[in-house]
């Protein structure tokens, strides 16, 4: 089993986070963009379906193993939105696909709602090949609430708006090491590492 995994994303910040999280298995992550692989469509309403679609697309184009991350913010009082549309939420309202515009769109949609409970969700899907009948799927959830205005300079996406009460900070106020220990992506990655060790590398 190869120790190289094609990451079905061209997000440099996601790559850095996942590289750190997958270091214990000695996995080499390369982005699909560096191999000339275009991004897959994400037509489904769930993180699981989109992650698996992206992983199979990258595996088919690269001829090897691939992993995909589909993640986003789900806000209770918005019926789970932005959800799978988190990265392009502002475009639903005439804005650009941009972190700052997405954050502004979310605050406008929330308005003066008092229920601001939310969670970051991450699904990781990994396949040994495009037609792998036994994909590995892991999910992480990180509970918090949406602030009235952004706080902090670190991270990306909705990190400046996501407040973690137990820490007394927004996600954008956390250091990279702390975020990589606690985040939805970290939780999903730990599950995935265990699955890979048991199902993939345990058979070597």
Catalytic residue among 69, 70, 98, 132: 70
Q: How far are the Cα atoms of 113, 127, 150 from residue 15, in angstroms, in the given order?
A: 35, 18, 24
**Comparing C-alpha atoms, which of 5, 152, 8 is closest to residue 71?**
8
Question: Quick check: is 115 catalytic?
Answer: no
Q: Write phi, then psi, for 21 (nearest 5 degrees).
A: -70, -30
For every residue of the chain, DSSP letters joined together read --SEEEES---HHHHHHHHHHHGGGTPEEEETGGGTPPPPP---SSHHHHHHHHHHHHHHHHTS-EEEEEEEEEEGGGTT-BGGGGGGGGGGGT--S-HHHHHHHHHHHHTT-S--EEEEEEEEEEESSTT-SS-EEEEEEEEEEE-SS---SSSSTTTTTEEETTTTEEGGGS-HHHHHHHSHHHHHHHHHHHHIIIIIGGG-
Active-site positions read 70
């Amino acid at each position: 089993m190869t120790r190289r995994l094609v990451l079905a994303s061209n997000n440099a910040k996601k790559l850095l986070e996942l590289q750190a999280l997958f270091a214990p298995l000695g996995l080499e992550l390369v982005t699909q963009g560096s191999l000339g692989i275009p991004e897959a469509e994400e037509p489904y309403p769930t993180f699981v379906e989109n992650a698996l679609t992206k992983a199979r697309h990258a595996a088919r184009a690269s001829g090897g193993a691939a992993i995909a991350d589909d993640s986003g913010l789900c806000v209770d009082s918005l019926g789970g939105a932005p959800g799978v549309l988190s990265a392009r939420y502002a475009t639903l309202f005439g804005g650009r696909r941009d972190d700052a515009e997405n954050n502004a769109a979310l605050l406008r949609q929330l308005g003066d709602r008092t229920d601001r409970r939310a969670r970051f969700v991450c699904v990781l899907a990994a396949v040994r090949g495009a037609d792998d009948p036994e994909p590995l799927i892991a999910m992480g959830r990180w509970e918090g609430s949406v602030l009235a205005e952004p706080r902090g300079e670190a991270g990306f996406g909705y990190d400046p708006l996501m407040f973690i009460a137990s820490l007394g900070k927004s996600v954008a106020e956390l250091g990279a090491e702390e975020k990589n220990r606690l985040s939805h992506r970290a939780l999903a990655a730990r599950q995935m590492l265990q699955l890979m060790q048991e199902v993939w590398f345990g058979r070597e």
